[in-house]
Amino acid sequence: MEQLLAQVAQHKLEILAAVVTTKDELEVFRVKYLGTKGLVKTIMAEMRNVAPEQKKEAGALLNAFKEFTESRFQQLLDGLGLQEQSGTADTDLSLPGYKQAIGSRHPVSIVHNKIVGIFQRLGFTVAEGPEIEDDWHNFTALNLPQNHPARDMQDTFYISHAEEGEKDWLLRTHTSSVQIREMEKGILPLRIICPGRVYRNETISARAHCFFNQVEGLYIAEEVSFADLKQTLYFFVQEMFGDKVKIRFRPSYFPFTEPSAEMDISCLICGGSGCNVCKKTGWVEILGCGMVHPAVLENCKIDSNKYTGFAFGMGIERITMLSYQVKDLRLFSENDLRFLQQFSAAT
C-alpha cells in the first residue's frame, strides 16, 4: 500500500508538470495516461495485489488519481483551445509588438502640479472657486470699487450688467476672487493657494491669451510680514528653478496690496548676462505680490489691527514657458500632438 501511495504521488507530479502546446502532444498525453494501455489503467490493475483489508483505501486513492488525471487532461485541452483562439501557438514572436498609445501630461498641468506641490510642502492648502464670478468677489471686495481706474488693468469679459438690485456677472480675471471667498469664511489663520483658469479680453498673441491659468497665494495670521513673503517666494523659486537663481523685488501697484511689488528672477537662459528672453536685462518678471490692503481685510470682516497678510499671484503659462523655453503661449491651447508629446507622462 505504501508503495502504491508513493507511485501515485510520483505520477501526479509528472502529470502536473506535463506541458502541451499542440493537439498532437495532447493526444500523446491522453494515450500515455488515459489510453487503454495507459498509466491509469495499469495502476488500477494493481488493486489485485492489495491486501483485502486495504482494498477500500486503495480503491479511493486510485479513483481520486483517475479523476485527477482526467481533470488535468481537460485543463490542458482548455488551454490549447484558448491558445489556438489567440493564435499564440503559431505566433511569430520575432515580429515587432503593437505600440501602446500612452498619453502625456500637458506641460501646463506638469508645472501646475509642481507649483502646488511646493506650496503644499510649506503648509498651504488648495482652495478653489467659480470661474463665473460676481463683481464683488472679483473687484469691489479687492478694493476696486465701481469706476476705479485700475479696473482697466484687467480687461474683463462681462456676462451681464447689473440692473437695479442685481449683480454684475463676469468671467473672473484673476483667482484673487477665491481668496475673498476664503477670507469671508472667517476661519483664521489662513494659508491657501488658489490655482485656476482666468479670463481677460486681450488680443491673442505669442505673449498673451484671452484665458490662462494662475496660482495665487494668501497667508493671513497675526504678525505676518513682508519678510515672510520674501522668504516664501524665495523658497518657491529655488524649488522651482534651482538654487542658482536670484530674485529681486520692484515696487509696483495693485489696489488690493500695500505695499505692492513685482518679483523678477535672474534669467534662466543667460544666467543674468543678457539675452533675447530677458530683453538684455538679465531679469524676467514672474509674479505680483504685496501685503494685503487693510481695506480688503475689512471688506471680509477681518480685524486689520489684529491680522496682517501677504498675497501673490503668478501665471502658470509664464512659468511653463520659462521652464521649458517655449516661445509662443498659443502652443498651449492649440492641441498639436507634436508639441504636447514632448513632455513627460510621469509627473
For ligand PHE, the nearest residue by Cβ is: 313
Which secondary structure element, helix H or strand E, spans residue 311, and what is its range?
strand 308-315
> Could you say whether residue 213 binds ligand PHE (CB under 6 A)?
no
Nearer to ligand PHE, 196 or 288 (CB): 288
Nearer to ligand PHE, 70 or 202 (CB): 202
C-beta of residue 344 within 8 angstroms of C-beta of residue 329: no
> Could you say whether residue 254 binds ligand PHE (CB under 6 A)?
yes
Q: Which of 69, 143, 156, 176 binds ligand PHE (CB under 6 A)?
A: 176
- Sheet of 247-254: strand order equals 125-126, 190-199, 211-221, 308-315, 283-292, 257-266, 247-254
Question: How far is Cα 325 from Cα 255, in angstroms, rounded to an integer?
Answer: 32
> Could you say whether residue 177 binds ligand PHE (CB under 6 A)?
no
Quickly tell me which residue has 450688467 as its cell: 161
> Could you say whether residue 255 binds ligand PHE (CB under 6 A)?
no
Question: In the complex, what is the shortest distance from the CB of residue 222 to ligand PHE, in angstroms, rounded to a whole number?
Answer: 20
Nearer to ligand PHE, 82 or 227 (CB): 227
Nearer to ligand PHE, 76 or 311 (CB): 311
Question: How far is Cα 129 from Cα 120, in angstroms, rounded to an integer?
Answer: 18
> Could you say whether residue 309 binds ligand PHE (CB under 6 A)?
no
Question: How far is Cα 329 from Cα 108, in angstroms, rounded to an integer?
Answer: 11
- The 8-class DSSP code of residue 198 comes to E
C-beta of residue 216 within 8 angstroms of C-beta of residue 179: yes
> Could you say whether residue 135 binds ligand PHE (CB under 6 A)?
no
> Could you say whether residue 311 binds ligand PHE (CB under 6 A)?
yes
Binding site for ligand PHE (CB under 6 A): 174, 176, 216, 254, 257, 288-290, 311-313
